[in-house]
Amino acid sequence: MTTSQPPVDVAAVPPAPPEDAPRTMGRFNIWDTPWFNARLMTGVGIITAILLMGVVGQFFWDVGMATERDRTARFAPPVGFTNFRGEPGSWAHPLGTNNLGHDMLAVALVGAPNTFLIGFIAATIGLGVGIVLGFTGGFLGGWIDDFIRLISDVTLTIPALMVLIVLNSVLDRISITTMALIIAAFAWPRATRQIRSQVLTMRESGYVQMARLSGASTFGIMFKEMLPNLIPYLFASFIAGATGAILAAVGLETLGLGPQNVPTLGGTIYDAYRGSALSANFWWWWGIPTVLLAVMFVGLLLVNLGLDEIANPRLRGRK
Amino acid sequence: MGKIPRSYLLRRLGIFFLTIWFAATIIFIIPRLAPGDPISAMVGDMTQAGGDVENSQAIIEGWRARFGLDKSLPEQYVRYLGNLLTLDFGYSINAFPTPVGEVIARALPWTLSLLLLAMVLTFAIGNFLGAILMWRYTPRLVKMFIPVTMVFTSIPSVLAALFLLYNFAYVLGWFPDANAYNVGEVVPGFNLAFIGSVIRHGTLPALAIILVSFGYWTLGMRGMMITVEGEDYMQLARAKGLAPFYVLYRYMIRNAILPQVTAFAITLGTLVSGQVLVEYVFQYPGMGKVIYEAILAQDFPVIQGASFFLITMTALAVLLVDLLYPYIDPRISAGGES
Amino acid sequence: MKVKAIFSVLVVALLAVVSTVALAQDVPREETLIFDFDRTVTDPENYNPFTPAGNTNRGNGAHQAMWEPLFILNYETGEIDPWLGTAMESNEGLDVWTLSIREGVAWSDGEAFNAEDVVFTIEMLLGDETATLSNAADMQQWVESVEAVDDLTVQFNLTGPNPRFQVDFFAVRVVNSILIMPEHIWAGEDPLTYTFFDAEAGLPIGTGPYTLTSSDSTRFMWDRNDDWWGVAAGFEDLPAPSRLIWESVATEDSRVQLISNDEIDVANSVSLVAFEIIQANNPNVIAWENDLPYSWADPCPRQLDINTTIAPWDNANMREALSLIVDREEIVEFAYEGTTQPSSTMFVQYGSMSPFIDAVVEAGYGETPTADVEAAQALIEAEGWTLNGDFYEKDGETLTLNVLVNNASTEYTNTVDVLVEQFVDAGIDAAARPVDNSTFWGAAAPTGDYEVAYGWLSCSSVNEPWASMNRYTTNFLAPVGEPAPGINNTGRWDSEAAEAYTAVVEEIGTLPLGDPAIVDLVVEAYSYIDAETPIIPLVQATKLLPYSTTFWTNWPTAENNFNHPAFWWNSAHQIIHNVEPAS
């Protein structure tokens, strides 16, 4: 994962003290669970709103306008504003249009969920691979561990930008899924390394030693004993990974390496800075995707903080 | 090496060299997967610039021969590996007859000074904010303010760069808009005018990088602080009645920062490719721009030379992290052997 | 500790890598002319224009301020303006050319510029066995031998008749010309690796009125040499600017800001919106034209090339249908916002080309600015296709079309977007196929890996028709998948008509420039293009170049047309000599 930001590190998420995890069990009032904390709920609410916007929006607004050019209205400002030519905004394009006459509302409705989707798919794959390889390597050790470490180190060291530019010229069109796969391909080594080190730590803990002494199978120990204890940690890793993947995707899109003919937030910013949007004060062109990104980021951040409260009961009630 | 058994060290070194070899092989293969080849692209560019190029076929053949691109792939690969051993990457295709080493040497100091400095600052600021965010004596107002600043993290670096450029270079005119120093107006060397000029030119690009990336470290540090907070030695320190600042520095930050340092080492590799657009917007003559332009022009020797440099740097950082890990976390023994 | 170590490494590296250059004198802004440079240079310490490194650097002022051309083709008059050369004439057979050099020309180090330098440079190119030096392959193809008749006269003995020998290689026909190098410096150097750069020894040198002061990858500074030969020789006065600067500019936003604030005096091509903003910010900014289209047309008109080997486009009627669907006025309006004009033929619409263009149009082979979709659909239906829903079908297959486009510029992709819409509206399931610059020029275009390609592959002619027409002859045929020589006839046009076309074009190629017989031959050749539609001309190219009159006036404009405004060309000497201080 390379791009303009250093990737969110899975290690950034505090490791879950194993003893804390099963705490939610055995409560009687189902509403009295740490999963219903304010931060988590707000965060989930924000993310859901953005996704819903994309799903529901198409019934109220012609999202096809995100890629169709309105020849009569280019550089149209949002309603209530005028552009540098003195043209006022109109309800035909409530959030204005870009240089080609693409409707910005439609771009927002389609682009935000698209961008989120890329992060979601990439984080799922990255973390999934990370869990399997991290557990395998950390628990089994030996040459398997060495091999896993070798391929993950190789992947870590390859300049991903090079791979992306080449892929861009080999593939005629990059889709949302391809984009997500590309990012996942560079995200898994990090997840693998971090999970492996968690596993190494946990392997020495009392309950794993106990399970081992009682003759549980390797597979059983790994996925029945250790994995459940890591779940809050993995959740947090997932959110951190999704945030990182979204920002990585946006970074690539702003280099012009994103999906073509599909509106994305990063792609919109790329078009904007190539089109003198700053000088011409087309603030809605780069401003709308930026605000959406910020909102999405805040949502994910809140989810992450909320998950921390679940993983770390000490934090509850503290602000 | 007290804690690291020799067998582990050897195995780890083996992985280190294998990593470099594998990665070097991949950077040999990948650019060659792209359609077209650098020579045709170069001649194509000439066509673009000057109408048609008569005799372009003769030119293409001549260049192919000169760069050994007329040889079979295995032959090219063997020659490439040989060059790696001697660190000789030959000549840039796009800027023949400039040696690749010279292209890299010209860009490297700028990248190292600007980006490394920016990253170290980012790391310091980010971790500091993360630490005080979780510290119980931090004023509430500060604790409210820090998460707000983290919204910057969601801004693409190119936009941050353009914004700073537009407002501080063009509108306010406080900082220069391009280059790494006042070319032609100050003499490069160890003198105040030059150093001042370098700092003035580096401020905005560095700021762009810091602004969009410190939040990662803040988040990470916050997480580590939570863990540390729960440790027994913290209770002990507090019970001893040590001064809060002393506890913050000596017990909390010192312990929480170690995993952050490992993460920093791994991030080193993304240092260059990460800030391509910032360098581009500010016309900063660093490595990111060199690599980006080389990839666009399919300049194989430059891509390979620069990538090899990055690979070695990252692999070294990862190696160090692995060798240091047992020292950092006492619960882990080297290589995971119990 | 660590920080200290890193810091000292940095300082040492900085000192080691950055070579010291002479400190420039302060020159007031109003005596400085600042150009926008739209590329960055990999190696600012290479001034050998025959190698790729030096060749990409030459637009940084080297060939506009330091190296002078022998002649400059004047796009506006169609004449060849003399510069270092005073005349270049051929014999009756067009295979012996005699160059006369101006008297009194000198290199900036004081040595005389003479026939020996010309002979040395050409022989250097002839002697390059690798043929990789710029123009070496051209010289090896055309020049049998070259000799100095006397100090100021050079005779070129060609391998065959070539009526365009002077204009193609020595008169800045497009962007470059063969630059003459000083024998007294170059002799004994290996031209393949020589860098011609040594700040301490005062290299590089040229005959031009400016010498290099500092060279960095993003900024180049040149100062006037007040002892320039042109004054004493009575050729030209000293140019007005005491200093010239070429400044790398990355984005259009930067370009807009810099010229708005008068931090540069002339900018590379910008979009119409950007130009409107610049004019609003800085009322002193003008362009080639005072009103739409504002811009100057560069010599590469935009067009579609069709791969004539891929069904159903191997059928001339289907290609004709595509041509009829194209609405050029719509492209001008929606892709260019009115900053260009529709093409009526494959040629660039300069005054010197109009006799040929007019004749072709008169003969009925010209293109109309608007579409005739009904006629196109009739042609498609006659080939057995039927409209089913939105698109045509035949034997259960939908009529599809992929339009290859280089995604390096929004100009290209915008045009193709409009074209795709026109094709889709007419019932063809068309889609753009964007590829990056190196794929387009390095693979897809030369190997014919496309159905239809957007570009300017006929670009070449500026004052005579042969150069462009020659690019579609069957002499360049190569199988699909292998590169077509010179990226010519990439559509693999290969039919009886193409053979007939080739014969006529070859005949044109042997006639001296300006021969009255050429017009009729062009019309005859064009009849084959009209009949088989291997290409579809679209619109003229456009360069909207803003110049600021705050510090400098007398820029080239449509009214003050001493020559075209391409300030990044070897011909820019004329612009630099013409500009005048505003106050």
Instruction: Tell me which chain B residues have a C-beta less than 8 angstroms from the C-beta of A312.
Output: 226, 230
Determine the pLDDT at residue C6.
Answer: 52
Query: How many interface pairs between A and B have CB atoms less than 8 angstroms apart?
Result: 207
> Model confidence at C19, in pLDDT bands (50, 70, 90)?
very low
Average pLDDT over residues B118-146: 83
At residue A3, does pLDDT exceed 50? no
Is residue C544 within 8 Å of residue C305, measured between CB atoms?
no
CB atoms within 10 A of CB A261: 13
Least confident of A208-212, B258-262, B268-272: B268-272
Q: Which residue has the higher pLDDT, A252 or C530?
A: C530
Reported as a pLDDT band with limits 50, 70 and 90, residue C522 is very high
Which of B118, B152, B143 lies closest to B268, judged by CA?
A: B118
pLDDT tens-digit readout, A35-68: 678 888 899 999 999 888 888 888 888 887 887 7
Asked if C242 and C27 count as a contact pair (C-beta separation under 8 A), the reply is yes
- pTM value is 0.85
pLDDT tens-digit series, residues A261-297: 788 898 898 888 877 788 888 889 988 999 999 899 8
- Stretch 79-118 of chain A: residues touching chain B, C-beta under 8 Å: none
How far is residue B252 from each of residues B109, B245, B332, measured CA to CA in Å?
Answer: 35, 10, 20
Q: What is the pLDDT of residues C375-429, one digit of tens each?
A: 999 999 999 999 999 999 999 999 999 999 987 787 898 899 899 989 999 999 9
Q: Which of B44-53, C73-82, C265-274, C428-437 has the lowest mean pLDDT?
A: B44-53
Of B15, B33, B325, the CB nearest to A166: B33
Q: A279 CB near a chain C CB, below 8 Å?
A: yes
B97/C217 CB distance under 8 A:
no
Question: How large a percentage of chain C has pLDDT more than 90?
Answer: 73
Token output for B314:
């990252």
Looking up tokens 């462009």 gives: C468
Q: What is the mean pLDDT of residues C483-492?
A: 87
CB contact under 8 A, C441 and B44: yes
Helical (H) or strand (E) element with C32: strand C32-37
Mean pLDDT of all residues in B3-25: 85
Residues of A in contact with B155 (CB under 8 A): 290, 293-294
Given pLDDT bands bounded at 50, 70 and 90, which one contains residue A21?
A: very low
pLDDT tens column, C194-247: 999 998 899 999 999 999 999 988 889 999 999 999 999 999 999 999 999 999
CB contact under 8 A, C137 and B103: no
Query: In the predicted model, what is the mean pLDDT of residues C23-37?
Result: 86
The answer to whether B325 and B332 have CB atoms below 8 angstroms apart is yes
What pLDDT is attached to residue C233?
A: 94
For residue B180, give the amino acid letter. Answer: A
Q: What's the pLDDT score for residue C559?
A: 93
Percentage with pLDDT > 90 across chain B = 1
pLDDT of residue B329: 59
pLDDT in the model for residue C498? 96
Map residue A68 onto helix, strand or coil.
coil
Query: Given a contact as 3+ CB pairs under 8 Å, which chains touch A?
Result: B, C
What is the pLDDT averaged over residues C346-357? Answer: 92
**pLDDT of A22 above 70:** no
Q: How deeply is B209 buried, as exposed, middle or buried, from its count of CB atoms within 10 A (0-12, 13-18, 19+)? A: buried
Predicted local distance difference test score (pLDDT) of residue A24: 44
User: Which pLDDT band holds residue B1 (cuts at 50, 70, 90)?
Assistant: very low
Largest CA distance in chain C: 83
Per-residue pLDDT averaged across A85-104, rounded? 85
Band of residue C7 on the pLDDT scale cut at 50, 70, 90: low
C356 versus B203: the higher-pLDDT residue is C356
Residue C563 or B314, more confident? C563
- Omega before C204 cis (within 30°)? yes
Residue C467 contacts B where some CB pair is shorter than 8 Å: yes
DSSP state of A148: H
pLDDT for the residue A55: 85
B244 min Cα distance to partner chain C (Å) = 28
Local confidence band at A216 (pLDDT 50, 70, 90 cut-offs): confident
Q: Give the pLDDT of residue C527.
A: 96
CB–CB contact A266 B156 (8 Å): yes
pLDDT band at B330 (very low <50, low <70, confident <90, very high): low
Could you tell me if A67 lies within 8 Å of chain C, comparing CB atoms?
A: no
ipTM reported for the complex, 2 dp: 0.80
Backbone angles phi, psi at C538, to 5 degrees: -115, -85
Confidence at residue B269, expressed as pLDDT on a 0 to 100 scale:
62
- CB spacing of C280 vs A85 below 8 angstroms: no
Confidence of residue B42 (pLDDT cuts 50, 70, 90): low
Length of chain B as a residue count: 338
The minimal CB distance from A150 to the residues B18, B270, B329 is found for B18
Residue whose C-alpha is closest to residue C17's, from C241, C282, C216: C216
Taking contacts as CB-CB distances below 8 angstroms, the residues of chain C near A75 are 273
